[in-house]
Amino acid sequence: MTKTPSIGFVAIGRNEGDRFKRCLLSLKKEAARIVYVDSGSADDSVAFAKGEGVEVVALDRAAPFTAARARNAGFDALARTWPDTDYVMFIDGDCELAPGFTGAAVAALVANPSYGAVTGRCRERFPDATIYNRLCDMEWDGPLGEIKACGGIFMVRADGFRAIGGFNPAVIAAEDDDFCIRLRGTGAKIVRLDHDMCFHDADIHRFGQWWRRMTRAGHAFAQVGDLHPGYFLAERRRAWFWGLILPVAALVAAPFTYGLSLALLLLYPVSLWRTRRGLIARGAAPEHATLAAKFLTLSKFPAVAGMLDYKRKKLTGRHIGIVEYK
């Protein structure tokens, strides 16, 4: 007789409020094996989870909070309580699980032994609420089929998770990329299914939040690039060139070129136009492509700031802590 696959969920969160409540209730419709890992919330997330009969892990505040640390703690708790769990679904507390994805993910893993992890389409719940939510909605729209990295929301084989030692808790951003690199190193494939997976609520309302989010991305480019030198190479090169080398060269050379070097700054609108054209070619609506191209061009500056901050902390031996934008 074929064994029915056993599924467990690990949700992580920090002060997600009603978004976490939607998340947890969506998980309870799919399985009973649920662990919630809380990273020092000041709201009622922990009380709500306990009231719903969910196992709760409250991370010790003495150690730095990271998503990687939270997911590892959740997996460990799940394995202790339900050691026979075959597949584990990780989800963030600001996401609601889409109906039907759990079954589709399990079916894909069962039918394809070479699949190590599967993910799906992430949708922004309120894409038109702010321009930043719209940018996130476009960011989530990744390619289907075999992919290099799947983000932090996915289903993985429990044995595969154990085989690579889970997440690296020292990685504060793009810890999912580092995880996927190591998982693919075992020969496993990572696949995005043609199925809605979750509804995300970015809840970004201010430019400063977006800037911090891009700073965190730059930090990730540098840290994960240190661990895996060929990874994020193109992203790092683009950030260095557009965010630092080009503007500094144009400004420093200006006194010696009678200001002619400032013409180099015209490369920015050229880059913006090319980016917009590429987004439209991939199916983006023209107005959305214009918005995304503007912010992708601008993002090189906070990305450089994040890369420099990582390098400064590494050289001085300072603690590398999480970069929060909410």
Query: Which alpha helices (H) appear in the chain, and where do they start and end?
Result: 18-28, 45-51, 67-81, 101-111, 131-140, 158-163, 175-184, 207-227, 233-240, 246-253, 267-281, 286-298, 300-316
Res 276 pLDDT > 60 = yes
Which tokens belong to 285? 């609506």
- Side-chain half-sphere of 171: how many Cα atoms within 13 Å? 26
Mean pLDDT of 59-64: 82
Domain ranges of the chain: 7-205, 208-316
More confident residue, 1 or 284: 284
Using alpha carbons, select from 176, 165, 161 the residue that is nearest to residue 217.
176
Q: Say what percent of the chain tops pLDDT 70.
A: 97
Give residue 144's pLDDT. 94
pLDDT for res 317: 81
Q: Are 157 and 116 in contact (CB under 8 A)?
A: yes
CA dihedral 19, 194, 220, 324 (to 10 degrees): -10
Give 62-84 pLDDT, tens digit per residue. 777 889 999 999 999 999 999 99
The Cα 197–Cα 306 span in angstroms is: 30
Task: Tell me the pLDDT band of 318, cut-offs 50, 70 and 90.
Answer: confident
What's the pLDDT tens digit per position in 173-226? 899 999 999 999 999 999 999 999 999 988 899 999 999 999 999 999 999 999
Closest CA to 181 of 230, 128, 247: 230
3-state class (DSSP) for residue 120: strand
Predicted local distance difference test score (pLDDT) of residue 40: 86
pLDDT at 8: 96
Asked whether residue 60 carries a pLDDT value surpassing 90, the answer given is no
Tokens of 78: 């799940």
Provide mean pLDDT across the span 12-23: 91
- Residue 16's pLDDT is 87
Secondary structure element (H or E) that encloses residue 10, with its range: strand 7-13
Name the percent of the chain lying above pLDDT 90: 83
Using one digit for the tens of pLDDT, what is the confidence trace for 253-273? 999 999 999 999 999 999 999
Q: Which of 277, 42, 25 is nearest to 13 (CA)?
A: 42
Q: Give the three-state DSSP class for 57.
A: strand
Domain 7-205: CATH superfamily is Spore Coat Polysaccharide Biosynthesis Protein SpsA; Chain A (3.90.550.10)
Cβ pair 303, 243 in contact under 8 A = yes
Per-residue pLDDT at 325: 61
| Per-residue model confidence as pLDDT tens digits over 90-148 | 999 999 999 999 999 999 999 999 999 999 999 999 999 999 999 999 998 889 999 99
The whole-number pLDDT of residue 321 equals 66
Give the C-alpha separation, 266 to 291, whole Å: 19
* 1 has pLDDT over 60: no
**Residue 141: per-residue pLDDT:** 87
